[in-house]
Structure 1
Amino acid sequence: MPVTSPQTQDSATATAAEPTLRAGTLGTADIAFFVVSAAAPLTVMAGVAPFAIALGGIGAPVGYLLAGLTLAVFAVGFTTMSRHVRSAGAFYAYITRGLGRSVGIGAALLAMVGYNGMEIGVYGLLGTATQDTLHALFGIDIPWLPVSLAGLVLIWYGGFRSIDFGAKLLGVLLCAETGILVLLAGGVLLKGGAHGLSAASFAPGNVLVPGTAAVLAFAFAAFTGFESTVIYRREARDPGRTVRRATYIAVAFLGLFYAFIVWTVIQAFGDAHVVQAAGSDPAGLFFSAITTFVGGWAADLMHILIVTSVLASLLAFHNAINRYGLALAEEGVLPKAFGTVHAKHRSPYLAGVAQTVLGAAVVLAFWAAGADPYAQLLLWVNTPGMIGLMALQLLAAIAVPFYFRRITHEEGVLRTVVAPIAATVLLSIAIVLVCTHLDLFTGASSLVNMILMAVAPAVFVLGIALARRLRRTKPDVYERFAAEPSADA
């Protein structure tokens, strides 16, 4: 059984016990890089924001601000609870403490399916993004499957290496993808946009329009994965502060950055023309803007950086999934082997192998069925994952006030009651918006959308059934589930 208490000796001296994750490795910036990289800012902006503009008009930037504000409210209770809950189980541990073990085990299964859905589907996007880049730059057409399979191997290797290797790599990739967007914004601002700079995007009359609901649905989806800061608690330096700071930094950065970039792209075409431009060529909107205001070389670079943005997102989700697998193996819910940590790299490498094999199986199944890598592999696999993670956020928000009613604490009522209740209401609205606009995400039939929506609740119910079975057949495992570790990690 892997050791669950923290261990600060390096791998050269850790001979008396089985290896553990490398404690004290990640700072605030490192964890923020993981979280923001998972959101894939460049891919979200260039690939999704044009649809938000086409549907919501020039008020689209406010949608990203509202989504960020909602998640900041959620983060208040979430991070307050993180000071008291030291488990590496992240969402499921928080939900267990507030709502009980059965709900917590249901949440654990939902988390595994949700994070896997968010990652595995993106291998389809990797294939199509690489295809588009090679065609645009060199006129080369290649099949998507070899690219996706090569991506699986590359991401496995990144997760196999030490966590500080992953943090440094993601830091470089994230700086590159945000840098190209900043370059675009700088070009637009320096040249004064297409027809001068305008603040009309923030006028109530342009925000309170029917299309705002669709913008909000896209905006909430753009933050998916931000809550994974707590997954790295055991590898963080001063986790009580680092995790909390990284969460707020990630939410603030994404909300403000998304809104700013969308606003600058609107300025690139002008308030009167951007909606038509976004509707007629959404895939080319950002490339057209950067070509006009920076140069064709920058558009070529943006093509390349979209591929690296996708790779960064894949690696961030892969690392999060591996740590969930490690935690659940230590709980006794998943096979013990998944809790094995590599002696040199101190990574949960067998969980990484299992996740890579699962990803390869799904990718090959979609390829064998002749499915489209974007419209079906990406969208059909990502969508249940996105809904599942939003549902976990909702359950975590509900769990906060229940948890603080059960313990003695000195936290204020604003953090333990008011903010979590507000977050519960706002996240419920967000989930409704996403589910009622699911056709915008998937482009699929009503039947397919109903099936995709049903995956998350079905997995959660299955998890509760698993919990009841564990309580009967393995009561010791059930009683230990999400128990507080003996020392902080």
Structure 2
Amino acid sequence: MPVTSSGERLADTGPALRTGSLGTADIAFFVVSAAAPLTVMAGVAPLAVLLGGIGAPVGYLLAGVTLTVFAVGFTAMSRHVRGGGAFYAYITRGLGRGAGMGAALLALVGYNGMEIGVYGLLGTATQDTVHALTGTGIPWLPVSLAGLLLIGYGGYRSIDFGAKLLGVLLVAETGILVLLAAGVLIEGGAHGLSLASFAPEHVFVPGLAVVLAFAFAAFTGFESTVIYRREARDPARTVPRATYAAVGFLGLFYAFVVWIAIQAYGDAEVVAAAGGDPAGLFFAAITTYVGAWAADLMHVLIVTSVLASLLAFHNAINRYGLALAEEGVLPKALARVHPRHGSPYVAGLAQSVLGAIVVLAFAAAGADPYGQLLLWVNTPGMLGLMALQLLAAVAVPLYFRRIRHQEGVLRTLVAPLVAAVLLTAALGLVVTHLAEFTGASTTVNTVLAALVPAVFLAGLLLARRLRRRRPDVYQRFAAEPAADADAG
């Protein structure tokens, strides 16, 4: 919905997003699906065990606790900020329009990076699945392009269609991991169930830093709950509940599943097993404890897990594009909403075209779809979203200092400051361990990390340009509606 320079909302002039469409579970499905739990566990957790030892489950718990602390201030602010700009709106209210514009560009790059790179993973995951099931090979590029079309269609349809689809896919991918857990628990693991993973001598080891870096990356995108505020039922309650539900579920589920994988092999044997065949760790475990048919099913569900993640990020990107188009920062055409589906379909089409360009460019260059398309495009996206979390944590106490409110000091000051310190440490861990993520050279990793401050600086320069040449757009950027002021 357009806004005036004073921050007041104008009357609707065309189709709008479907308000009241999403409940707590629907929003949580979007967020948890974006994290792709099955893909994270089967594809990344074995590396966490290999590098961090049997204390790896605690790394996921620590990451979950940190992001829960962040959510305390973040959700408190969500009750007062009613716009559709999510991160950039929050950062603007606390740190000003310049920082908000930098955050807006960083959010676009971050979410696009997290989504577009995954088309490389879709191609390789499908290749692996087809080879595992039939013994034949297929090219990755047609699979990735077909995925682009499928995800574009999902974003074109209504948001409740996407929520229902993601709900089904999420239940399926978590269900196969629960099936593995049941098999391991019933059999008592390789040598009986052990809690050694939670003993301090196994947690506080040199590899803990790497485990924490992997763990924080596994939560990327959980904060996107606020993006769906305009489509949520009773957003003041629904959005915070969905945020806590998503981060709580991910933290506990990740830790539990990694512990289960350790029990499947035994405390003394699992690191060697992860080193021998990290990609096959979970498949071998489920074959042993459940059956070969379950391993085949897991292969298929990894593909659907990737598709669910793509659709969740695609929907988030579309709503960022819609909000920025309504503000006048992006072309006005991107603000069009489908008259029947209530979806930001033009923004979705633009995002799909961008994805196709990037995928085809990497293919034309002969790049590896996993080692380069996925990891090189995902990495700046992941770093960008972590930087936005940090900026949002800093913005919370500054925002509450300026408004009248009835929130407690724990939510508005203590928790955000603690979260800022913890997120700074987390971001530092990830940056200093980029080589473990990308497998690339120091030069490549430096460029990937440098993209984040470069994009933020570009946003600052854009804000300066708009303030001088288009002051009306600058003034209404993330403008505070009258309802927000009243809420304070």
SS of the counterpart of 1:141?
A: coil
Structure 1, unaligned runs of 5 or more: 8-13
SS of the counterpart of 2:81?
A: coil
Q: Distance in 2 between matches of 1:300 and 1:201?
A: 29
Residue 479 (structure 1) aligns with: 475
Pairing 1:462–2:458 present:
yes
Could you state the TM-score of these two structures normalised by the residue count of structure 1?
A: 0.97
Residue 100 (structure 2) aligns with: 104
Residue 81 (structure 1) aligns with: 77
Residue 35 (structure 2) aligns with: 39
Residues 34 and 6 (structure 1), Cα distance of their counterparts in 2 relative to 1, 3 Å cut? farther
| 1:37-436 correspondence to structure 2 within 5 Å | 37-436=33-432
Contact (CA 8 Å) 1:106, 1:462: kept in 2 or not? yes
Q: What is the CA distance between 1:487 and its match in structure 2?
A: 5.4
Structure 2, unaligned runs of 5 or more: none
Q: Distance in 2 between matches of 1:167 and 1:17?
A: 27
Q: Distance in 1 between matches of 2:424 and 2:30?
A: 26
Contact (CA 8 Å) 2:2, 2:9: kept in 1 or not? no
Q: What is the CA distance between 1:484 and its match in structure 2?
A: 2.5
Residues 208 and 423 (structure 1), Cα distance of their counterparts in 2 relative to 1, 3 Å cut? same
Could you state the TM-score of these two structures normalised by the residue count of structure 2?
A: 0.97
For residues 287-344 of structure 1, what are the alpha-carbon distances to aligned partners after superposition, in whole Å with 9 as ceiling and x for unaligned? 0000000000000000000000000000000000000000000010000000000000
Q: What is the CA distance between 1:17 and its match in structure 2?
A: 3.9
Quick one: which amino acid aligns to residue 221 of structure 2?
Answer: G
Contact (CA 8 Å) 1:120, 1:363: kept in 2 or not? yes
Contact (CA 8 Å) 1:6, 1:234: kept in 2 or not? no
Residue 11 (structure 1) aligns with: none
Contact (CA 8 Å) 2:3, 2:327: kept in 1 or not? no
Q: What is the CA distance between 1:410 and its match in structure 2?
A: 1.1
Contact (CA 8 Å) 2:123, 2:144: kept in 1 or not? yes
Quick one: which amino acid aligns to residue 300 of structure 2?
Answer: I
Q: Distance in 1 between matches of 2:317 and 2:9?
A: 20
Q: How many residues align?
A: 481
Contact (CA 8 Å) 2:123, 2:143: kept in 1 or not? yes
Q: Distance in 1 between matches of 2:353 and 2:210?
A: 35
Pairing 1:20–2:16 present:
yes
Q: Distance in 2 between matches of 1:135 and 1:247?
A: 38
Runs of 4+ in 1 over 4 A off after TM superposition: 1-7
For residues 158-177 of structure 1, what are the alpha-carbon distances to aligned partners after superposition, in whole Å with 9 as ceiling and x for unaligned? 00000000000000000000
Q: What is the CA distance between 1:281 and its match in structure 2?
A: 0.4
Quick one: which amino acid aligns to residue 440 of structure 1?
Answer: E
CA RMSD, Structure 1 to Structure 2 (Å): 1.4
Q: Distance in 2 between matches of 1:6 and 1:178?
A: 41
Structure 1 residue corresponding to 2:444, chosen from 433, 438, 448: 448
Contact (CA 8 Å) 2:3, 2:476: kept in 1 or not? no
Q: What is the CA distance between 1:6 and its match in structure 2?
A: 9.5
For residues 60-97 of structure 1, what are the alpha-carbon distances to aligned partners after superposition, in whole Å with 9 as ceiling and x for unaligned? 00000000000000000000000111111000000000
Quick one: which amino acid aligns to residue 75 of structure 2?
Answer: T
